[in-house]
């Protein structure tokens, strides 16, 4: 089903994949996890490693899962899964089994720490990441005042920087 690929062979536009299409950010264990649709994120190189940077508001249910585990996955899908991503973005795992309700099929994948991470059978590409750093965004960090418009309720993001351990493509 999934095959590991090198970052050197990716033909991937992070601006459209993250900002337009969105992805599922998933954290937890195979017995207890949550996923959320994300459309804010960055990819690049930091500290000599390929990284994904995920931004998660403290109010999101997935936040508590990210804080408890060493890693997470970022799963990207084709356009046929747009409705499932919308569902996962509009519903909380606190109130329902949104994975079941959206039709997603969870799949465990191995990680360097020996604790399986979760992705989904329908994913086209998966980045499996180990948390390298966690930082809190605060109002005093904004240089441009208009950025505060994204935080009218004061629900600031936590920044999770993850080293990319593996990249998987669905065959």
Sketch out the chain's domains with CATH numbers. Answer: 2-170 (2.30.110.10)
Q: Is the pLDDT of residue 61 over 90?
A: yes
For residue 125 the two structure tokens come to 């590409």
d(CA 35, CA 62): 6
More confident residue, 168 or 87: 168
Question: What pTM did the predictor assign?
Answer: 0.95
pLDDT digits (tens, 9 = 90+) for 78-122: 999 999 999 999 989 898 898 888 999 999 999 999 999 999 999
**Model pLDDT, residue 171:** 81
Bridge partner residues of 55 (DSSP)? 159
Chain-centre distance for alpha carbon 79: 18
**Model pLDDT, residue 121:** 97
**Model pLDDT, residue 157:** 96
Mapped to the 3 state alphabet, what secondary structure does the chain carry?
Answer: CEEEECHHHCCCCHHHHHHHHCEEEEEECCCCEEEEEECCEEEEEECCEEEEEEEEECCCHHHHHHHHCCEEEEEECCHHHHHHHHHHHHCCCCCCCHHHHHCCCEEEECCCCCCCEEEECCCCEEEEEEEEEEEECCHHHCCCHHHHHHHCCCCCEEEEEEEEEEEEEEC
Inter-CA distances, 109 with 2, 143, 153, 167, Å: 9, 40, 37, 11
pLDDT, the chain, mean: 95
pLDDT digits (tens, 9 = 90+) for 13-35: 999 999 889 899 999 999 999 99
pLDDT bracket for residue 127 (50, 70, 90): very high
């Amino acid at each position: 089903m999934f095959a590991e690929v090198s970052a050197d062979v990716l033909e991937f536009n992070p601006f459209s994949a993250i900002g337009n299409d969105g992805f599922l950010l998933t954290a937890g264990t195979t017995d207890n996890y949550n996923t959320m649709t994300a459309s804010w994120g960055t990819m690049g190189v930091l500290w000599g490693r390929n990284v994904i940077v995920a931004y998660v508001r403290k109010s999101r249910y997935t936040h508590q899962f990210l804080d408890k585990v060493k890693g997470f996955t970022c799963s990207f899908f084709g356009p046929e899964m747009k409705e499932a991503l919308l569902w996962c973005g509009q519903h909380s795992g606190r109130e329902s089994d949104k994975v079941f309700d959206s039709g997603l099929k969870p799949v465990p994948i191995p990680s360097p720490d020996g604790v399986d991470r979760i992705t989904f059978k329908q994913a086209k590409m998966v980045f499996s990441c180990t948390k390298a750093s966690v930082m809190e965004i605060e109002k005093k960090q904004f240089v441009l005042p208009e950025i505060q418009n994204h935080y009218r309720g004061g629900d600031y993001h936590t920044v999770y920087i993850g080293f990319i351990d593996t990249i998987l493509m669905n065959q």
